[in-house]
């Protein structure tokens, strides 16, 4: 065991600290979650500084090489120094770890004054628990009896069952664990506006509860803050802007230094652009497909990213809000109408709305066709927005319901977790989110097709070889 062992301890501790902070945040409140994470980070920083201090003083690392960061000439020079000067050299190298340890000690005192001490202590002891567990595991796995147990499947299964029973018995004895809240109770504060006043009738208790996200956690932690109230009110807008910024960054890094032989990110972006371009051109034709592919392709990628964004912990799908889907639908509706006016002209647009009358019978039907066309055009954004909103919102409610059911199924064991019944529906959400983005884009493309000059499409189809 050397520095590599400590590096593995740090990696394992970071994952366990993140999981512990999420559990503490869910079942004990945001202060306990923040305290657990801060204690683990404080302990990891302390161990790393002690490691740097020991390496600086002892001059070599676990492999016998010179101090990390020193060149071979520098190491040879300090080795040739007299004993007293070499000691002074070592202490000069140890100055910054000592100063950082003092600053870290002051930071720990500040954290103890502002965060729950039990959560801080639990987080602080986590790296040592990981270190002890890894050391015991190394000793046990090297023992002959471990090889005999793991060689037989039945003995290995019995060992796993015994460990699970021991873990359950230990968890049942922990004080206060039986009073852990269910996800519905833990998430109830997130359904209220900052300041304790309900934001709406649905949020006041009549509407369904949802997973907490970053904005609701901040709003619940700062109930009297006006800016937290603003964040809560404009939550879907903030997440939609965040998704747009992420997509813009991906596009920027993919096109910053284009290569003739593209790398992974550039290759993926080029494949997506080419696929969407071919898809739109296959519906609108090459003449109009090239013109409207940028908008329709961006629409698909943006809606897909917003649909999937809610599957990330402490994030939310902006498309689960009717405000966002209505905005996208109205934008598409206005673009389609503007396309009709630009491509057909004012008279051609009115002729299209009248049903293209060319005979006495069709002219007699104009008083009926105009209202029908107007109602049909106005119904398009309504159907687009409600379909997308209903499906994404339904996915979220389904995940919440099965997560709650999974926790309730093991509530008699008094465990802080439940059966992962929501995992199949997470996989289903990946499929349905893609389908809904595709449906929105396909319908928008068809709306453009219906508004474009039909004669042009007829000539293009006639010109194609059979």
Mean pLDDT of 252-269: 85
pTM attached to this predicted model: 0.61
Percent of the chain at pLDDT > 90 equals 23
Residues spanned by the domain of 25: 3-142
pLDDT at site 278: 93
The band of 176, judged by pLDDT with boundaries at 50, 70 and 90, is: very low
Q: Tell whether the model's pLDDT for residue 405 goes beyond 70.
A: yes
pLDDT at site 172: 54
Tell me the pLDDT tens digit for each residue of 429-456: 899 999 999 999 999 999 999 988 865 4
pLDDT at site 438: 94
What is the rounded distance in angstroms from the CA atom of residue 59 to the CA atom of residue 75?
9
The neighbour count for residue 149, using CB atoms within 10 Å, is 14
Q: Tell whether the model's pLDDT for residue 296 goes beyond 80.
A: yes
The band of 422, judged by pLDDT with boundaries at 50, 70 and 90, is: confident
Residues 217 and 249 in one domain: no
Residues 341 and 249 in one domain: yes
Residues 349 and 418 in one domain: yes
The alpha-carbon radius of gyration of the chain (Å, integer) is: 31
Looking at 87, 114, 142, which one is the last position of a domain? 142
The band of 466, judged by pLDDT with boundaries at 50, 70 and 90, is: very low
What is the rounded distance in angstroms from the CA atom of residue 2 to the CA atom of residue 63?
8
Look at the chain and report how many structural domains it folds into.
Answer: 3
Which of 195, 198, 239, 197 is closest to 215 using CA atoms? 239
Residues 263 and 382 in one domain: yes
Please provide residue 465's backbone torsions phi and psi, each rounded to the nearest 5 degrees. -70, 150
DSSP 204: I
Tell me the pLDDT tens digit for each residue of 124-174: 888 888 878 877 877 777 778 777 777 777 777 777 777 777 766 665 555
Mean pLDDT of 212-237: 81
193: left (phi over 0), alpha (psi -120 to 50) or beta: beta
Which of 319, 324, 327, 331 is closest to 434 using CA atoms? 319
Q: Is residue 285 part of a domain?
A: yes
The band of 280, judged by pLDDT with boundaries at 50, 70 and 90, is: very high
Q: Is residue 9 part of a domain?
A: yes
Residues 115 and 257 in one domain: no
pLDDT at site 312: 87
Q: Tell whether the model's pLDDT for residue 411 goes beyond 80.
A: no
What is the rounded distance in angstroms from the CA atom of residue 178 to the CA atom of residue 22?
18
Residues 229 and 250 in one domain: no
Q: Is residue 88 part of a domain?
A: yes
* 454 vs 311, residue with greater confidence: 311
pLDDT at site 435: 94
Residues 122 and 229 in one domain: no
pLDDT at site 319: 93
Residues 128 and 255 in one domain: no
Which of 304, 291, 279 is closest to 451 using CA atoms? 291
* 148 vs 399, residue with greater confidence: 399
The band of 87, judged by pLDDT with boundaries at 50, 70 and 90, is: low
- 305 Cβ partners below 8 Å, 6+ apart? 243, 246, 247
pLDDT at site 199: 41
- The structure tokens 């019944």 sit at 421
Residues 244 and 229 in one domain: no
Q: Tell whether the model's pLDDT for residue 276 goes beyond 50.
A: yes
pLDDT at site 168: 62
Which of 214, 224, 217 is closest to 194 using CA atoms? 224
What is the rounded distance in angstroms from the CA atom of residue 144 to the CA atom of residue 150?
10
Q: What is the mean pLDDT of the chain?
A: 77
Contact (Cβ atoms closer than 8 angstroms) between residue 123 and residue 35:
yes
Residues 120 and 190 in one domain: no
pLDDT at site 186: 38
Q: Is residue 402 part of a domain?
A: yes
Q: Is residue 398 part of a domain?
A: yes
For residue 156, the SS3 value is: helix
Q: Is residue 156 part of a domain?
A: no
Looking at 109, 142, 175, which one is the last position of a domain? 142
Q: Is residue 191 part of a domain?
A: yes
Tell me the pLDDT tens digit for each residue of 28-85: 777 787 888 888 888 888 888 787 777 776 654 444 444 444 444 444 554 544 566 6
Residues 229 and 244 in one domain: no
Q: How far is CA 115 from CA 39, 297, 314, in A?
A: 10, 48, 22
Q: How far is CA 326 from the centre of its chain?
A: 24
Tell me the pLDDT tens digit for each residue of 335-388: 999 998 998 888 888 888 888 788 888 888 888 888 888 898 899 999 999 999
Looking at 142, 168, 196, which one is the last position of a domain? 142
pLDDT at site 71: 45
Q: Is residue 135 part of a domain?
A: yes
Residues 378 and 453 in one domain: yes
What is the rounded distance in angstroms from the CA atom of residue 249 to the CA atom of residue 278?
24
């Amino acid at each position: 065991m050397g520095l590599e062992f400590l590096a593995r301890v740090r990696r394992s501790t970071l994952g366990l600290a993140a999981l512990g902070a999420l559990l503490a945040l869910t079942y004990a409140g945001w202060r306990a979650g923040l305290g657990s994470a801060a204690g683990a980070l404080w302990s990891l920083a302390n161990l790393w500084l002690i490691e740097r201090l020991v390496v600086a003083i002892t001059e070599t690392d676990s492999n016998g090489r010179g101090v990390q960061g020193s060149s071979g000439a520098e190491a040879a020079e300090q080795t040739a120094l007299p004993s007293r000067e070499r000691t002074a050299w070592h202490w000069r190298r140890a100055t910054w770890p000592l100063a950082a340890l003092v600053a870290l000690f002051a930071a720990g005192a500040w954290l103890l004054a502002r965060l729950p001490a039990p959560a801080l202590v639990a987080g602080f002891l986590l790296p040592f628990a990981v270190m002890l567990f890894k050391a015991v595991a190394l000793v046990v796995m090297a023992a002959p009896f471990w090889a005999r147990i793991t060689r037989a499947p039945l003995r290995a299964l019995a060992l796993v069952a015994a460990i699970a029973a021991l873990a359950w018995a230990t968890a049942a004895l922990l004080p206060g664990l039986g009073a852990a809240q269910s996800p519905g109770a833990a998430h109830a504060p997130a359904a209220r506006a900052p300041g304790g006043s309900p934001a709406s009738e649905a949020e006041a208790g009549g509407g369904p509860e949802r997973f907490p996200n970053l904005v609701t956690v901040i709003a619940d932690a700062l109930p009297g803050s006006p800016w937290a109230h603003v964040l809560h009110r404009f939550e879907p807008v903030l997440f939609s802007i965040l998704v747009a910024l992420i997509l813009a960054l991906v596009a920027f890094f993919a096109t910053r230094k284009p290569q003739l032989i593209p790398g992974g990110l550039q290759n993926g972006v080029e494949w997506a652009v080419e696929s969407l371009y071919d898809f739109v051109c296959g519906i609108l034709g090459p003449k109009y497909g090239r013109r409207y592919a940028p908008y329709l392709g961006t629409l698909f990628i943006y809606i897909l990213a917003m649909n999937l964004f809610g599957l990330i912990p402490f994030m939310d799908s902006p498309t689960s809000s009717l405000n966002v889907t209505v905005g996208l639908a109205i934008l598409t509706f206005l673009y389609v109408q503007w396309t009709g006016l630009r491509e057909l002209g004012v008279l051609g647009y009115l002729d299209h709305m009248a049903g293209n009358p060319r005979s006495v019978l069709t002219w007699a039907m104009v008083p009926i066709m105009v209202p029908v066309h107007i109602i049909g055009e106005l119904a398009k954004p309504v159907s687009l927005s409600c379909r997308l909103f209903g499906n994404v919102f339904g996915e979220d409610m389904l995940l919440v319901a099965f997560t709650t059911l999974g926790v309730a199924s093991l509530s008699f064991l008094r465990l802080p977790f439940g059966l992962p019944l929501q995992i199949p529906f997470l996989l289903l959400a990946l499929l349905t989110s893609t389908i809904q983005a595709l449906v929105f884009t396909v319908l928008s493309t068809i709306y453009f097709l219906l508004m474009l000059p039909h004669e042009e499409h007829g000539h293009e189809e006639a010109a194609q070889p059979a």
